[in-house]
Structure 1
């Protein structure tokens, strides 16, 4: 498992790094393609302007020749000198498509155009196209031109440009050189950035392995406030919660083990004594009563655990109805009379003259009241009073249970609703397993209301919650 997690951490770094590089490659490829296309268009525009320039020059030479009354042979000889240009050549075709004038030393010999193209140009059309001739990439432009030699006739002027290979090679070399430098520097920067971005993930991977081993003290180092930083904070919060749950589990096992072992040990001891006949017959009912009490204690513990499990799993649904809560509390107090007598306390119900009805789940509220009143009885001082108070507030009934015990420490008040939590005084009196109040809080939450507690050390505690009054 450790190797798998580590490989995944490296895999994220590699994927992130390669993704950045791929994006960089694609971006540069797109840039290069667009740049070459625009360069191609711009180069052909320059060639077209160059063609127009030489066309105007030939027309100007013709005008001068006519003004100076040059002879045709002299004019043609002078014209041939203008047909040869650097990296380009100019050809003139007559009205029949025959080559009339050509440069004395063309850059690329045997450069010709198809006769059909020449005839199209003589009819007034224009032609521009690139092709490969004699291992040279040549761009040809042809347009009609008017030359007054002997008669008014239309001729075709063709101009070949030979420097395309050289210019394209220069552009490609510059692109490749720039690409190499950019990729090298970018790869180094991306490597550092990717390592920095994935460093918290590798740290989380390391901490996760430690958490899997039960070392909950490990924490992720959070150095940013972005999504990864928030994830790190959440991870640390999870580790803290797991540490709390682990401590709670240990406390629960310790507490439940003690609560299970004590009554079981007592029951076993009494059973052994009864089987051995060491207990006289007149004392047997007494020990049967103790064994019954210890058995009921075990049953309550198991029932509380099952109840808490069902509540947490969400399998419990409330069955609300309108019922007489005043009568319910009176019956509960009667049921608890043995405990009241045992602890030498008095339970008093203070309520309106007329019985009060509420809209709630009667069985679940009975669990709440049973847990709260039992706790109040157990923790109250002997010869003291437990007061259950009912008071109408608007459309709700406020129920409070007040005891006269040692109270709860302020720092422990937020913790009493947690599962398996037991205050020091609870452990001293060995009462319950710390599940009762957690069940109370869950049931109250299901009723969409709240429960509050106020406590003063040395004086006692007051638990208060509200329920909606009868809808009738």
Structure 2
């Protein structure tokens, strides 16, 4: 049974409606043209018989045939299987007819037709008479017969109902065959078109339950085939997103559990007096560091959500980028000192840019943290500012372990852990995703170049203020 709301039923019923309507229109036009053609043939038959009868009447007059002889000769022309011809006078009384033995009979013609014919018109008219469909053509003859100055020739085509019935039966027979054939073809075509859609519907239910093991087959390159490919691609992306979400939850749980466990241990030790008084400041400092670590993780998560959902707006202004970078490097001195890293800033000018100062600071801080985290001890980090047409190019380069080339396109993804591609260090995998989102809001790209064992270079541009 066809479900009315299904795409299959809509396709099948729509196509069926179009085909049936088209066939009915075809039948109507065909029937109308048949009607006109049939009447044209009747007119041609009348003209042909008119000429023949005129010649015979001329012979009747010139050769002075007797009426019985003329009636006998005319009867072969006047009596035909599909029509009869009558020659009548002004009173509709028969002079000659199909039966030579019947004369002076009244011909049943409407007075309206007689008046038009006597007025010199040729009348052609079809219609029902006594339940019989017939077609009448009548006009005056040029000859005179037996003192009748205006003889009238009338041809009556009878049994038209049989002609139309035959055509109707042929049309209906063809119509039924065409409908059955078209219905079968439409059924299979609609099934074939909607099969991928039904498959996508079933697989979508599996996706909703978290099962991404199946994919939609796309045997064609049409719109449905492209939709199937997009559907499969979406499933792949959702599967990756789900895996990253689980990984993110696992990472965040680990990142929060470790400092919380440490803080809890320190608090218990402080409460029971295990930690000497002279060392409490040291452990307070450790607790402070662990707390800041948790706060940063939470802030990064919230920040990433705001950026992706479009709730974050830029507050652009003109400011000194060179001075900003110097201040950030100064703030990072403790981190550089821990690894004995050398940080070199190269800038040939004081660059004034038009950007969101707080957001750009967040970008530079994340990139420097990334460089510090993956640099080796006693290594170097280069920060370079150079003019690039109407922009300033910011480049941050470390000489650490580098990133595998196959991971370069994935490092910007949310939940992707950069350290899995570079080292085994911990991290929630949000820093570079935040950087990418902020620079996207600034309508500028960030490039990365990296080689394993040689280090990584991150670079981006910002628009310069005119005359800076």
**Normalised TM-score (structure 1):** 0.91
Compute the displacement of 1:369 (Å): 0.9
Deviation at 1:145, TM superposition (A): 1.6
Aligned to 1:298: 294
Aligned counterpart, 2:317 = 321
Instruction: Identify which of 383, 388, 413 aligns with 2:383.
Output: 388
**Residue in 2 aligned with 1:179?**
175
* Count of residues in Structure 1 that have an aligned counterpart in Structure 2: 462
- Indicate the SS of the match to 2:139: strand
- 1:103/1:409 CA distance change after superposition, 3 Å: closer
User: In structure 2, what is the equivalent of residue 133 of structure 1?
Assistant: 129
Report the alpha carbon displacement of residue 188 of structure 1 after superposing the two structures with TM.
Answer: 1.9
The answer to whether 1:363 aligns with 2:363 is no
Distance 2:316 2:250 in 1: 37
Q: Give the drift of 1:426.
A: 6.3
2:191 aligns with 195
Structure 1 residues 82 and 381: alpha-carbon distance in aligned structure 2, compared to 1, 3 A threshold: closer
1:411-426 equivalent positions in 2, closer than 5 A = 411-422=406-417, 423-424=419-420
**Match for residue 57 of structure 1?**
52
Instruction: Check if 1:155 corresponds to 2:142.
Output: no
**148-157 or 28-37: which moved more?**
148-157
**1:11-56 CA distances to partner (integer Å, 9 max, x unpaired)?**
2122212222222211211111111111111111111122222222
Offset from partner CA, 1:165-187 (integer Å, 9 cap, x none):
11111111111122222222222
- Name the SS of the counterpart of 2:408 in structure 1: helix
Q: How does 1:216-231 map to 2 (within 5 A)?
A: 216-231=212-227
> Are 1:268 and 2:264 an aligned pair?
yes
Partner of 1:338: 334
Equivalent of 1:247 in 243, 252, 268: 243
Cα 1:60–1:303 shift into 2, 3 Å = same
Distance 1:99 1:366, change over 3 A: same
Contact kept, 8 Å, 2:122 with 2:139, in 1: the verdict is yes
- C-alpha separation in 1, matches of 2:188 and 2:140: 62
Give the C-alpha shift of residue 393 in structure 1: 3.3
Partner in structure 2 of residue 374 of structure 1: 369
Greater CA drift, 18-27 or 40-49: 18-27
Distance 1:258 1:443 in 2: 27
The 3 A distance-change label for structure 1 pair 52 and 396 is closer
Instruction: State the partner residue of 1:91.
Output: 86
Please give the per-residue CA displacement for 1:112-142, whole angstroms capped at 9, x wherever unaligned.
1112321221110122222222332111111
Find the partner of 2:285 among 278, 286, 289: 289
State the shift of 1:82 in Å.
Answer: 4.7
Give me the whole-angstrom Cα distance separating, in 1, the residues matched to 2:3 and 2:165.
45
1:111 shift after superposition: 6.1
Supply the distance in 1 between the matched residues of 2:240 and 2:257 (Cα, whole angstroms): 25
* 1:359 and 1:471 in contact (8 A); partners too: no
Aligned partners of 1:140 and 1:161 also within 8 Å = yes
**Is contact 2:401–2:422 with CA below 8 Å preserved after alignment?**
no
The aligned residue for residue 235 of structure 1 is 231
Does the C-alpha gap of structure 1 residues 24 and 51 become closer, same or farther in structure 2, counting only changes over 3 Å?
same
Distance 1:79-1:457 versus aligned 2 partners, 3 A rule: closer
Alpha-carbon shift at residue 297 of structure 1 (Å): 0.9
Judge conservation of contact 1:402–1:460 (CA < 8 Å) in 2: yes
Contact 1:217 1:243 in 2 (8 A): no
Alpha-carbon RMSD: 2.5
Please say if residues 343 and 378 of structure 1, whose CA atoms lie closer than 8 Å, have aligned partners that are also in contact. no
1:235, distance to aligned residue in structure 2 (A): 1.1
Displacement after TM superposition at 1:409 (Å): 1.8
Structure 2 partner of 1:440 = 435
Q: How far is the alpha carbon of 1:88 from its aligned partner? A: 2.0
CA 1:90–1:451 in structure 2 vs 1: closer, same or farther (change >3 Å)? Answer: same
Relative to the length of structure 2, the TM-score reads: 0.91
- Report how far residue 371 of structure 1 moved: 0.8
Sort the Cα spacing of 1:111 and 1:218 in 2 relative to 1 into closer, same or farther, 3 A.
farther
Deviation at 1:461, TM superposition (A): 1.7
In structure 2, what is the Cα distance between the partners aligned to 1:32 and 1:350?
Answer: 87
2:452 to 450, 454, 457: 457
CA contact (8 A) 1:95 1:153 kept: no
User: Which residue does the alignment assign to 2:10?
Assistant: 15
* SS of the residue 1:462 aligns to: strand
Note closer, same or farther for the CA distance 1:371–1:110 as it changes in structure 2 (3 Å cut).
farther
Larger deviation, residues 81-90 vs 402-411: 81-90
Write the distance in 2 (CA, Å) between the matches of 1:458 and 1:238: 35
Contact 2:381/2:397, CA 8 A, preserved across alignment = yes
Quote the residue 1:3 is aligned against. none
- Separation (CA, whole Å) in 2 of partners of 1:24 and 1:359: 64
Check conservation: 2:46, 2:155, Cα contact below 8 A: yes
Q: Residues 322 and 112 from structure 1, CA distance in 2 versus in 1: closer, same or farther, beyond 3 angstroms?
A: same
Q: Structure 1: where are the runs of 5+ without partners? A: 1-5
